[in-house]
Structures are given as C-alpha cells and as structure tokens.
C-alpha cells in the first residue's frame, strides 16, 4: 500500500513543497518527514505542521542527509533556490546542483525506492529559433538560458546520473507556477504589480500552471511504475499582457496599456542595476528577466495529459482565486495565503 510508505520532502515549507505536503495528507499519507532550514517560515504549512515530522537540514551537509533518509521509501525533492540576481549565482548553483547531487547520493546509499525531482522548463533550454518545446527538446547553449535555468539543467543531470547508478527517478518540469503563497518574490510579483495598477506589460508569453496541479501530478507520478522519464507541466500558454490584464480585472484595477519595447527593457534593467548597486536593494527587473519577458515560449503538455487521467486547472480560475486572496492579504498586512485543495 502506497499509504504505508515513509515519505521525505525537501523544501517542504516553500511554495510548491507546502502544497505537496497538504496534498499528501489529504490523500491519507501519515508517515511524512520534511526537511527545513532552521529559519524557514512555517506560515504555509502551519495548519498541517503537527502531522509532519520536521528535521532541520542543510542540503550541502551530505552526511546529515544520509541520517535523514534512514527508513524512507520515497523522496520528493522540491528544495531549490530561484534567483535572477548576479550576487546570488554562486549560492544558487551550490544549492541547486550540489544540493541535488547530495540528495541523489544519499538516496542511492539508503536504498530509496523512488525519487521524484522538481526541475523546471528552464532546464530544458531555450533556443532563439525554437519557440515550441517538448520533453524531447535538446539543451542548447543560448543567451536565452538564464543562470537559474543552467543550474536546474545541471541539477537534473545529477538526477539522471543517479538513474544510471541504479536509482529509480522521475522528473517534472513545471512552467511558471501560479498560486497564493508568500507575496514577495517569484510569480507572486505579477499580483503585486497588478495591485499597484502597473501600466506596463512585456511583449512575450510563457507557460503557466496551477501549483496544486504540480503537486497532484507529482503524487501520481510517485505512485506509478513510471521511472526514467520527465514531464512538462504547463496548463496553458498566456501572454504576459493577458496575465496582467486578467489579474487587474479581478482586482478592479486599471489594466496595463503601455507595451515595453526592447529599448525600454534595456534601459530599465540597467537603471535597476544602478539602484541595486548603490542602494543595496534587490532589483525588480534584471537583464535575464527582461530578456525572458520579451520572448515567447510554448511548452507542450501532451505527455502529461496522456499518461494519467489528469486535467489542468484553467489558468483563469487560478488567477481569479489568487487575485482575490491577494486582496484579502492586503487587508491583513500581506500575510501569506494558500489556495484550497480541490
């Protein structure tokens, strides 16, 4: 019985990890262990925290990970660092690449039955003349690949290396994940911008997916006999203008009307770089995010749909629910929120 398996989740207090933990509990799992940093905020998991065994950890402490995995059958590796700031690159590569290598090595040493790894569509690669991307797309060196994408590509290679060494693995490659959580950083910045009636919109488009769908698919994948495969998880392709316009509509704010030209983008990220340099602030726009937002990518989700009896949540519904929760959070001091599971 899958419900009798001992499960370990890395990154359990983070955005995706918190939804995964609540989904596992909803499905009846009771033997769940989660790794967290000493200073990790518990806001997103507080209602279910008492149903989970928590261990403080450092992904870079390989010896400790072997202890944490004792008696564990299944591992969900959600922990990662997402950043597009130059100053974070060294730590991001250590966390994403070295941390994943340590999880793989510990899983091999402890005889873990299966590892499901959270990668990213950014790990598949983005070539200038290739706008439609599938699981079969080959990685190419390109200026459209962010350093975050490179770190996730190298991390995923560690997982495939573990497979060669005898570990059962499966990989999910989510597009941009939407949903309520902490309102600072990540995709939640779209909702903050719309909440301020931000007048500008970038010209590109991208894939988007509901956070609950990613968590649900990961559980289906873990509890299946599938291994050695990767799955793009993308509900729909939307333009950034469409996304910001719909968020604005649900918040009763003025939608963006000014297209950000390539010239404006180049000026904007350089001004942000100066602000970061002299004020020590995190930039809102970086060279990488400006370049990504100016391009259009379509991620094929056919494989995910035909593998399981699985349907994606309409992105318009994810946007509506998250927008309404953002408005609630504004009246509550921007407290973190989480969407109800379906």
Which residues are CB-neighbours of 219 under 8 A, at least 6 positions away? Answer: 20, 23, 24, 27
Could you tell me if 114 and 74 are in contact, meaning their C-beta atoms sit under 8 angstroms apart? yes
Name the nearest CA neighbour of 114 among 227, 274, 9. Answer: 227
Name the nearest CA neighbour of 339 among 207, 213, 192, 186. Answer: 213
Q: What is the per-residue pLDDT across 275-294, written as a single tens digit (0 to 9) for each?
A: 343 434 454 555 556 556 66
Could you tell me if 315 and 236 are in contact, meaning their C-beta atoms sit under 8 angstroms apart? yes
Distances in whole angstroms, Cα of residue 98 to Cα of each of 68, 176, 187: 17, 23, 25
For the chain, residues with pLDDT lower than 70 are: 1-3, 127-128, 261-294
Which pTM does this prediction carry? 0.91
Name the nearest CA neighbour of 223 among 78, 37, 27. Answer: 27
What's residue 264's pLDDT? 45
What's residue 268's pLDDT? 41
Q: Where are the domains of the chain?
A: 2-179+208-235+298-310
User: Beta-carbon neighbour count of residue 184 at 10 Å?
Assistant: 11
Specify the CATH number of the domain 2-179+208-235+298-310: 3.40.50.720
Q: What is the per-residue pLDDT across 161-220, written as a single tens digit (0 to 9) for each?
A: 999 999 999 999 999 999 999 998 888 888 988 888 878 788 888 899 999 999 999 999
């Amino acid at each position: 019985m899958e419900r009798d398996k001992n499960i370990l989740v890395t990154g359990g207090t983070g955005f995706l990890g918190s939804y995964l933990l609540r989904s596992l509990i909803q499905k009846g799992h009771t033997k769940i262990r989660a790794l967290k940093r000493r200073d990790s905020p518990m806001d997103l998991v507080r209602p279910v925290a008492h149903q989970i065994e928590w261990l403080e950890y450092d992904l870079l402490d390989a010896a400790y990970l072997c202890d944490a995995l004792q008696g564990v059958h299944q591992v969900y590796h959600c922990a990662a660092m997402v950043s597009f700031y130059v100053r974070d690159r060294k730590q991001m590569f250590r966390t994403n690449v070295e941390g994943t290598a340590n999880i793989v090595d510990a899983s091999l040493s402890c005889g873990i039955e299966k590892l499901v790894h959270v990668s990213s569509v950014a790990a598949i690669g983005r070539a200038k003349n290739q706008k439609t991307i599938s699981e079969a797309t080959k990685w190419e060196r390109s200026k459209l690949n962010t350093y975050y994408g490179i770190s996730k590509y190298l991390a995923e290679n560690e997982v495939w290396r573990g497979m060669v060494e005898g570990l059962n693995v499966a990989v999910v490659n989510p597009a941009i994940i939407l949903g309520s959580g902490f309102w600072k950083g990540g995709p939640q910045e779209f909702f903050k911008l719309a909440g301020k009636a931000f007048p500008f919109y970038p010209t590109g488009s991208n894939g988007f997916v509901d956070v609950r769908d990613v968590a649900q698919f990961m559980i289906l994948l873990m509890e299946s006999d599938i291994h050695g495969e990767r799955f793009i998880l993308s509900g729909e392709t939307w333009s950034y203008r469409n996304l910001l316009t719909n968020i604005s509509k649900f918040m009763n704010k003025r939608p963006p009307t000014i297209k950000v030209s390539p010239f404006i983008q180049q000026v904007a990220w350089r001004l942000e770089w100066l602000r970061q340099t002299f004020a020590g602030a995190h930039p809102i726009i970086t060279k990488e995010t400006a370049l990504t937002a100016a391009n259009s990518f379509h991620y094929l989700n056919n494989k995910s749909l035909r593998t399981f009896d699985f349907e994606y949540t309409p992105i318009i519904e994810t946007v509506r629910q998250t927008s309404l929760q953002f408005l609630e959070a504004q009246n509550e001091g921007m407290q973190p929120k989480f969407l109800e599971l379906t």
